[in-house]
Amino acid sequence: MQIYVCVKHVPDSAAHIHIVGRNGIDETVAFLLNPFDEHALTEAERIRQSLPGSEIVAVCLGKEDAEKTLRSSLAMGADRGLLIASDQRYDSIETARILKSAIEQDGTPDLILTGKESIDAEGMQTMFRIGALFDFPVVNNVVKLDIADGKAVVDTDLSSGIVDTYELSLPCVIGAGKGLNTPRYPTFPDVVKSKKKPVKTIRLDGLQLDTAPAASRMTLVELAPLKQKREPKEIIGDPGAVAREMVRILKQEAKVI
């Protein structure tokens, strides 16, 4: 089975985001593999164990530095990496077009995996757009995946643990949710091995892209820090008094009871 895992190079979740200019961020903070993509890679590795001979290709659209994220992906089990190197920012529509073109140029996918969302742009849609371009079925936030007899049976989490079960024909696109698996973090030998695995860097002009501008687009006009104006007030007293004051606040101020 030919498995492609789309990964994204994102700022570390613990990083402070400093806004630069009108809509940029200070990119000197640490960037790493998008946390949800770890679940996608772990699942790809699990599938390969049941279907020997499968190949896992990690694909990333990002700046040159994103090679680090591809190396992390290789340490988590991917066989090779494909970096579409560009310093530009792309919306989900363009990103899907570029990823589709890169995958198509590389091989014939049986399965495309992504994380359920990226923790930077939080667009929650690229997997659906990739699916639409390929005309493959898509399910996001998948928490259980079984592949057999040319189809995928998946559970998707609809909130608070309620799941729908779908059957998809292959090839398909799967967005990995947190409940899908527990990421297997690389051991030192995995990291050493990952350095020897191939990463191919391609440029946009090396892809067969439709040069006509997309009819639709999303443009990031402005970024601003979220201002927190909370002024903490202490509730004091014995437990009974504190509990009564909390109820009063919930009733009179928040008006939720």
Site for another protein in 17-36 (CB under 8 A): 17, 19, 23, 25, 35-36
Q: Which stretch binds another protein (CB under 8 A): 48-56, 80-88, 118-126, 188-196?
A: 118-126
Helix, strand, or coil here: 44? helix
Residue 87 CA to residue 94 CA, distance in Å, equals 14
Residue 159 or 208 having the CB closest to another protein: 159
| Amino acid occupying residue 183 | P
Q: How far is the CB of 176 from another protein (least distance, A)?
A: 12
Q: Which of 11, 62, 77, 109 binds another protein (CB under 8 A)?
A: 11
Q: Which stretch binds another protein (CB under 8 A): 79-87, 100-108, 191-199, 249-257?
A: 249-257
Q: Which two tokens stand for residue 197?
A: 């695995």
Residue 60, number of CB atoms within 10 A of its CB: 27
| Amino acid occupying residue 80 | R
Rule CB under 8 A: say whether 218 interacts with another protein. yes
Q: Which stretch binds another protein (CB under 8 A): 7-15, 48-56, 106-114, 200-208?
A: 7-15
Say if CB 98 and CB 87 are below 8 A apart: no
Q: Which of 138, 145, 174, 176 binds another protein (CB under 8 A)?
A: 138
Looking from the CA of 226 toward its CB, the CA atoms found within 13 Å total 4
